[in-house]
Amino acid sequence: VVPQGGNTGLSGGAVPDASGRELVLALDRMTTIRDIDPVGLTVTAEAGAILQTVRDAAATHGRDLPISLAPQGSVTIGGLVATNAGGLDVLRHGMTRDLTLGLEVVLPDGTVVDGLRALRKDNAGYDWKQLFIGSEGTLGVVTAAVLRLVPRPRHETTALLGVASVEDSLRLFARAQDAIGDALSGFELVGRSAMELVARHSGLEPPIRASAWYLLVQARSALPGLREAALALLENAFNDGIAIDGVVAESSDQATRLWALRERVTESEAAEGPSVKHDVSLPLRAFPAFLAEAEEALASASPGARSVVFGHLGDGNIHYNVLLGRGDEPRHAEILNRTIHDLVVRHGGSISAEHGLGQYRVAEWRRLASAAEVALCARIKSCLDPEFRLNPGKVLPQPERD
Ligand X SMILES: Cc1cc2nc3c(=O)[nH]c(=O)nc-3n(C[C@H](O)[C@H](O)[C@H](O)COP(=O)(O)OP(=O)(O)OC[C@H]3O[C@@H](n4cnc5c(N)ncnc54)[C@H](O)[C@@H]3O)c2cc1C
List, in order, residues 6 or more apart from 65 with CB less than 8 Å away: 43, 51, 54, 55, 58, 99, 147, 148, 149
75 binds ligand X (CB under 6 A): yes
Residue whose CB is less far from ligand X, 10 or 208:
10
Pick one of 58, 80, 184, 280: the residue that binds ligand X (CB under 6 A).
80
Using the 8-state DSSP alphabet, how is residue 207 labeled? S
36 SS3 class: strand
Q: Which residues inside 315-354 make contact with ligand X, applying CB under 6 A?
A: 354
**Cβ of residue 335: shortest distance to ligand X, in angstroms?**
26
**Cβ-based nearer residue to ligand X, 137 or 206:** 137
Q: 3-state class of 337 per DSSP?
A: helix
CA–chain centroid gap for 383, Å, is: 29
Kindly state the smallest distance separating residue 62's Cβ from ligand X, in Å: 25
Q: Is 47 in the site for ligand X (CB under 6 A)?
A: yes
- 86 part of the interface to ligand X, by CB under 6 A: yes
381 vs 135: CA distance, rounded Å: 10
Residue 194 as a binder of ligand X (CB under 6 A): the answer is: no
Q: Give the interface segment with ligand X, choosing from 75-83, 177-185, 288-296, 342-350 (CB under 6 A).
A: 75-83
Q: Which is nearer to ligand X, 317 or 339 (CB)?
A: 317
133 scored as a contact of ligand X (CB under 6 A):
no
The DSSP bridge pattern shows strands 100-106 and 150-151 to be: unpaired
Q: Give burial (CB, 10 Å; 0-12/13-18/19+) of 26.
A: middle
268 near ligand X, rule: CB under 6 A = no
Q: Is 3 in the site for ligand X (CB under 6 A)?
A: yes
- 314 near ligand X (CB under 6 A): no
How many residues appear in the chain?
402
**Interface with ligand X includes 381 (CB under 6 A)?**
no
Q: Give the DSSP H/E element, type plus range, for residue 320.
A: strand 317-323
Our CA angle for 255, 259, 264, nearest 5°, is 150
Does residue 65 belong to the site contacting ligand X (CB under 6 A)?
A: no
Pairing of strands 2-4, 24-26: parallel
| Interacting residues toward ligand X by CB under 6 A | 2-10, 13-14, 27, 47, 69-71, 75-76, 78-80, 82-83, 85-87, 136-137, 141-142, 266, 354-355, 358, 391, 394
